[in-house]
Structure 1
């Protein structure tokens, strides 16, 4: 911004620099003394230059793109730790609502931003939620976006309770004047044993309590959609890659970390398919959606996947990235889900292109995990 202003100011001075000299020509005063006439006109020239400069600066500020004031629920977790720095660098105001069970370590690198506000608390607390929503015009809902292995969703009661909390969030957000609600969902809503890559039109068939909860949230958000309240859902594959706060229980991260630390990979079902996406790609997609026109995203669902790989394919790619032998521990679980997913809709409709593959990022992950273990 400062550079833009200085460049604009310099251009104006260059264009107008001859003006005081021109105004001080004796004949301009119609017979009057050069001193009095030139002095008054010189002052006038300075005023003209200043006025034009101020007007130009006003135009610069007026044409700057206004950022969003965004509430990130669950922003103290894995995805939030990578997304929030990008939002702040793009001149957005960011409020994070999170219990910060990791002591806020996820956001340590952005603590200095005055445009960052942290609200410690529970999403189910209405007063806390209202305080966090104050002044926000957009939400990216990352809270309750846990992995399928987490026991918190292993009962239907928990799913129903969390769905009620989500519904309260949506209604309070609408009342508070939020204009855009982006909801993080999961590939798990598709179920398993899908022959082809699932598109957004594929009939959901959630099998786990977590997947059923996620589909409930999608349906709630769709019903609450209204003019002036734009809604969008992202069905993400399993995220991988290092971030300021990295989850080590997700399939790719777990394999890489176990390989580096223990020289050992556990594979529960080698034929199980995983749609995966790099942390930088999924966070880029949220930025793309946030800055789309309403008509491009309103009421729509987008899959987010970089690659579809089996567990054994992931293991082999990780194995190839290290310089020592790895021991495989292959188990079999008959109820393992098999899902392949397509991101064609996001590519065609939003121009979203993933930049990372496991093959071109795994070596960096190995090096980063080694540095972490040795530090």
Structure 2
């Protein structure tokens, strides 16, 4: 297929694009490179790869690119609550308005596989349990916009929504701010962390398993289209305290303390069922321990010394 990937130079996209090319697809990426990343240099030699430096919010840029595609993976977004809170106008125009504009220009035959977020669950029921039928209680602007977009997306007859768990693992466009990545970075470099509301749980998934999910969606599109699927690692519905304990197995001198007072600004707390996507034959390939091991190696390369003297 000819696949258009918006935001394809980002954290997920820079892992996804090489895999789509390896599967034989023609891939066009549109990205504004807002993080000054050069994360797709390793695929520029591929004859089926094309790259457009552009903004997904500009209709004149997107309309011809959409028209040429058999399928679209819209990754371009302001991702995460802190970034959206800092620039709410940019967040809404990218996360909502650009998707609305894209949906005006896609045909009924074109396929869309889109990441949304399981952070939309906010807090689960009395058991903190959530499946695809659970009520949505988005807390952050990011989650609120993703809920609106998912509702629009499912009006399209050829769309799949993957509600992603919190992603972890190394990527050419690295994000150290994601929770597993962040805690592992602190363990490796600071050896210390203070936890607020350490019992809060959430679900996690390796970035390469997210990529495998997109490919699985295309491979099984006729049976999966028109549906929402939670996409997470079923063995990783764990609390922040349990996450730190898992990291400490590989970083033995990592110390973590629970703060007796104070609140986490991120009030998400839920256990997510991934049974629906597993019933389609999808299985994750990377464990949480695999990801922590990978990150420890990766952080030998990444040192956040931009504002330090050593």
SS in 2 for 1:106: coil
Alpha carbons of 1:267 and 1:154: their partners in 2 closer, same or farther (altered >3 Å)?
farther
What is the number of equivalent residue pairs in this alignment?
299
| Cα pair distance change 1:359/1:219, threshold 3 Å | same
Match of 1:326 among 245, 255, 275: 255
Offset from partner CA, 1:9-60 (integer Å, 9 cap, x none): xxxxxxxxxxxxxxxxxxxxxxxxxxxxxxxxxxxxxxxxxxxxxxxxxxxx
Residues 1:231 and 1:136: Cα distance change in structure 2 (over 3 Å): same
Of residues 261, 264, 276, the one that matches 2:204 is 276
Alignment partner of 1:149: what SS?
helix
On the 8 A contact 1:188/1:211 being kept in 2, the answer is yes
Q: Which runs of 5+ in 2 are unaligned?
A: 305-310
Equivalent residue number for residue 341 of structure 1: 272
Asked if the contact 1:264–1:329 (Cα under 8 Å) also holds between the matched residues in 2, the reply is no
Alignment TM-score, normalising by the size of structure 2: 0.89
Whose Rg is larger? 1
Which residues in structure 2 correspond to 1:34-113 (within 5 Å)? 68-113=1-46
The CA deviation at 1:206 is 1.6
Match of 1:245 among 173, 186, 194: 173
| Structure 2 contact 187–254 (Cα < 8 Å) conserved | no
What per-residue deviation string (whole Å, max 9, x for no partner) do you get for residues 233-281 of structure 1?
0000000011112101110000111211222224332011121001111
Q: Kindly indicate whether the alpha-carbon contact (under 8 Å) linking 1:235 and 1:303 is maintained by their aligned counterparts in 2.
A: yes
Aligned mates of 2:50, 2:67 — CA distance in 1: 11
Match of 1:163 among 92, 96, 99: 96
- Of structures 1 and 2, the one with the larger relative CO (CA 8 A, separation 6+) is 2
Structure 2 vs 1, CA of residues 102 and 161 (structure 1 numbering), >3 Å: closer, same or farther? closer
Work out whether residues 237 and 275 of structure 1, in 8 Å CA contact, stay in contact via their aligned partners in 2.
yes
CA RMSD of aligned residues (A): 2.3
- TM-score under structure 1 normalisation? 0.74
| Whole-angstrom distance in 1 between the partners of 2:167 and 2:224 | 22
Distance 2:190 2:44 in 1: 34
Verify: 1:204 aligned to 2:133, yes or no. Answer: no
Structure 1: stretches of 5+ with no match in the other structure: 1-67
| Greater per-residue strand proportion | 2
**Higher helix residue share:** 1
